[in-house]
Amino acid sequence: MSAVSLTPTGPFSLAAAIRFLEGFTPASHTQAADGILRLAFPADDAVSVVAATVRQEVGADGATGTVQAEFTVYPDTPPRTQALTAGHAAGPAAPAQIARILSLDTDGTAFPTLAADPVVAGLLADYPGLRPVCFHSPYEAAAWALIGHRIRMTQAAGIKAGIARRHGPRMDIAGQTLYAFPTPAALRTITHVPGLTGLKIQRLHALAEAALAGHLDAARLRALPADQALAELRALPGIGPFSAELVLIRGAGHPDVFPGHEPRLHRAIATAYGLGTAATDVTRLAEIADRWKPYRSWVALLLRARAQGMAGRPACPASSRR
């Protein structure tokens, strides 16, 4: 097992991240209420899997501090339904991926200055320390988009969790059993999934090939101009404009993209800014979002959380947990 300390730049609350996951259907988050975030996921290298526990130090005054992550990287070798027990030495990739999942790879020092906008000020007050909690990778975000196309989110979450249980590695993490989503190499061997059409399975195979070829590398996608990255993602079979934005923002963790194809967000912006029926005027909404630079993705996340009724502040002050 390896360990890394991640020091947030700007406000960050792991407790807020966990509360967000509890209300985020794709995460299927039902872990113990002990202040520990347990993660099991395919690594960015497309051939390994990672088991991790994440904790955050909390001072006596309630101030949050350093994030501590302990993790083990495993080769993805069968039998995948048995618990993995033999890890191997970890390089810098796993800590970077954990940081990206929690949006700790972005300097959030200037985020509170957006409170000059009264709408953002209200969001920051309602959701203190909440940053986007991303999919484990662009690969897994794209898989979710393909699985969930034209079906209910709860149904899609069940199918995705079933794929992990049947075809992903089982991991025992801090007293709980989690199943990681299959690596790309494993995904491309799956020929039948209850609830998925043959076309969706073909598209998942194409996604696996793209991931193995490096086309879904998070750092590369974020380094590209956003329009170019979105165009590349839309070239994947089954990935349309909405899904491409999901993959770039919530898969690659891009902090500053305005989602131009998300009607629910657009309605939330129109409501928050008192724009009435302007929810369909994407140009006007994008101009408002320009005030949020360089954190447009972050503010959009907070607006969605409010619109969906996700819990913000805890009912009582967080206690210190290690």
Residue 87 exposed, middle or buried by CB count within 10 Å (0-12, 13-18, 19+): middle
Please give the pLDDT value at position 314. 58
The predicted-structure confidence for 157-213, as pLDDT tens digits, reads as follows 999 999 999 999 999 999 999 999 999 999 999 999 999 999 999 999 999 999 999
Q: Does 190 fall in a domain?
A: yes
Instruction: Name the strand (E) or helix (H) holding 283.
Output: helix 282-289
Q: Does 64 fall in a domain?
A: yes
* Between residues 298 and 317, the one the model is more confident about: 298
Q: How confident is the model at residue 60 (pLDDT cuts 50, 70, 90)?
A: low
In the predicted model, what is the mean pLDDT of residues 243-252? 98
Statement: residue 77 has pLDDT above 70: no
Q: What percent of the chain has pLDDT over 90?
A: 80
Q: Does 316 fall in a domain?
A: no
For 8-32, give one letter per residue: b (16+ CB within 10 A) or e: bebbbbbbbbbbbbeebbbbebebe
241, 234 Cβ separation under 8 angstroms: yes
Please give the Cα distance from 289 to 275 (Å, whole number): 14
Q: Does 127 fall in a domain?
A: yes
Q: Does 16 fall in a domain?
A: yes
In the predicted model, what is the mean pLDDT of residues 263-291? 92
Q: Does 313 fall in a domain?
A: no
Please give the pLDDT value at position 276. 82
What range defines the domain where residue 58 resides?
2-307
Please give the Cα distance from 305 to 322 (Å, whole number): 27
With a CB cutoff of 8 Å and minimum separation 6, the contacts of 66 are 5, 6, 7, 8, 56, 57
Please give the pLDDT value at position 206. 98
Q: Does 314 fall in a domain?
A: no
Please give the pLDDT value at position 67. 96
Statement: residue 248 has pLDDT above 50: yes
Please give the pLDDT value at position 279. 79
Average pLDDT, the chain: 90
Please give the pLDDT value at position 320. 34
Total tally of structural domains belonging to the chain? 1
Please give the pLDDT value at position 89. 46
Statement: residue 74 has pLDDT above 60: yes
Please give the pLDDT value at position 137. 98
State the pTM of this model.
0.90
The domain that holds 73 is classified in CATH as 1.10.340.30
Q: How confident is the model at residue 321 (pLDDT cuts 50, 70, 90)?
A: very low
* Between residues 121 and 87, the one the model is more confident about: 121
Could you give the count of Cα atoms lying within 13 Å of 38 in the half-sphere of its Cβ?
18
Q: Does 315 fall in a domain?
A: no
Please give the pLDDT value at position 237. 97
Please give the Cα distance from 289 to 107 (Å, whole number): 19
Strand order in the sheet with 2-6: 2-6, 64-75, 48-58, 37-42
Please give the pLDDT value at position 63. 64
